[in-house]
């Protein structure tokens, strides 16, 4: 998204200017270990990202950073627990786009993403990619669109599950192009990828995970475009879908939020520490290895991303009638 890119460029410039080593704030924050709740299962991409940065973040803050996995209800259980925790900056939640999407799909999620939280910072961004079965006669997005239009019944596309981000990103593509595309949900990346390889589905808009990109590099699948407004730094040579479908973008982001009411000076201290951690070459390399770009932001910019994302996906849900499983 344009907003994410502007945030990244502005913050990258700020980081180049350098800054003093963090010292404990006059308020004494943090006064105890920082607990970061990951509302998704251990071993996943969210878990990997936050554990990679926990030790250097704790070193900068002078306190241990504890990672606490609380999965369930598409992230709602762990997120709700943070929403009701003390708003002092010692308890945070590490989330992705599902943070704003889940309460739009489920009124009983137990939290309001915009009312109950305040942003700390983005951590990573990763644009989705359009990947097709090798039998699809298309080498770029324009040819792919022509191929679908030549088939009166449209084509089947896969996702890692109903109301997953891949499902919503492809529904957005279908809406933007007026194409007839039939959703086929699977239970996770592995069966979804296999279905694409065998031709059970013809296309996916998905994350550029190591598994997916390995299938592309070995010629098992074909990569047609990236769902960012401009070329993606981690995918050199891959053209943006937006060059053919103006305005189209679908980027996965991960970031940290604190409960609403957390003192701004505590949020600022956390944000400053995160800026330094995300500038570390070893952290950037680890994230790049899983297709994610380390992306720091100001709290205000990340709050605005959450608001704009909520509005965009709420509009798609209204227009398509999309529902969670």
Domain span at 112: 2-126+251-320
CB-based burial label for 68 (10 Å; 0-12, 13-18, 19+): middle
In a domain, residue 31? The reply is yes
Q: Are residues 57 and 42 in the same domain?
A: yes
| Number of domains comprising the chain | 2
Q: Are residues 256 and 239 in the same domain?
A: no
Contact status, residue 166 vs residue 206, Cβ threshold 8 Å: yes
In a domain, residue 296? The reply is yes
Q: Are residues 75 and 91 in the same domain?
A: yes
> For residue 190, what is the domain's CATH number?
3.40.190.10
3-state SS, residue 94: strand
Which residue in 8, 22, 67, 13 sits closest to 276, CA to CA?
Answer: 22
Q: Are residues 137 and 188 in the same domain?
A: yes
Q: Are residues 212 and 224 in the same domain?
A: yes
Q: Are residues 64 and 201 in the same domain?
A: no
Which residue in 253, 257, 263, 255 sits closest to 117, CA to CA?
Answer: 257
E strands present in 55-211: 65-69, 91-96, 117-127, 129-133, 155-159, 181-185, 203-206
Q: What is the pLDDT of residue 8?
A: 45
In a domain, residue 325? The reply is no
> For residue 77, what is the domain's CATH number?
3.40.190.150
pTM above 0.75, yes or no: yes
Q: What is the pLDDT of residue 27?
A: 64
Q: Are residues 72 and 52 in the same domain?
A: yes
Q: What is the pLDDT of residue 6?
A: 47
* Cis ω before 143 (30° cut-off from 0): no
Classify 37 in phi/psi space as left (phi over 0), alpha (psi -120 to 50) or beta: beta
Residues of the chain with pLDDT under 50: 1-10, 12-26
Count other Cβ atoms within 10 Å, centred on residue 52. 20
Which residue in 230, 228, 164 sits closest to 192, CA to CA?
Answer: 164
3-state SS, residue 253: strand
Q: How many residues does the chain have?
A: 325
- Beta bridge partners, 7, equal none
């Amino acid at each position: 998204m344009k907003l994410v890119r502007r945030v990244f460029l502005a913050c990258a410039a700020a980081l180049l200017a350098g800054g003093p080593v963090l010292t404990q704030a006059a308020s004494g924050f943090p006064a105890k270990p920082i607990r970061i709740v990951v509302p998704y299962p251990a071993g996943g991409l969210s878990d990997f990202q936050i554990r990679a940065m926990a030790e250097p973040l704790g070193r900068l803050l002078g306190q241990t950073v504890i990672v606490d996995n609380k999965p369930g209800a598409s992230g709602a259980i762990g997120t709700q627990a943070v929403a009701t925790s003390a708003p002092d900056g010692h308890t945070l939640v590490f989330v992705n786009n599902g943070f704003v999407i889940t309460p739009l799909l489920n009124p009983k999620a137990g939290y309001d993403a915009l009312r109950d939280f305040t942003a700390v910072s983005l951590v990573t961004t990763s644009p989705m990619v359009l990947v097709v079965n090798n039998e699809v006669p298309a080498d770029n997005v324009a040819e792919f669109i022509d191929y679908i239009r030549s088939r009166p019944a449209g084509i089947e596309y896969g996702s890692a599950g109903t109301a997953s981000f891949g499902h919503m990103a492809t529904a957005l593509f279908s809406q933007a192009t007026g194409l007839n595309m039939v959703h086929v949900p699977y239970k996770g990346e592995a069966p979804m990828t296999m279905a694409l390889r065998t031709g059970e589905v013809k296309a996916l808009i998905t994350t550029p995970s190591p598994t997916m990109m390995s299938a592309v590099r070995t010629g098992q699948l074909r990569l047609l475009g990236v769902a960012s407004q401009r070329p993606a730094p981690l995918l050199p040579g891959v053209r943006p879908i937006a060059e053919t479908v103006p305005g189209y973008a679908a980027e996965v982001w991960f970031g940290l939020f604190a409960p609403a009411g957390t003192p701004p000076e505590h949020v600022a201290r956390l944000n400053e520490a995160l800026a330094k951690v995300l500038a570390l070459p070893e952290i950037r390399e680890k994230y790049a290895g899983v297709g994610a770009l380390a992306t720091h932001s100001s709290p205000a910019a990340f709050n605005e991303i959450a608001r704009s994302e909520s509005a965009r996906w709420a509009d798609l849900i209204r227009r398509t009638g999309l529902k969670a499983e």
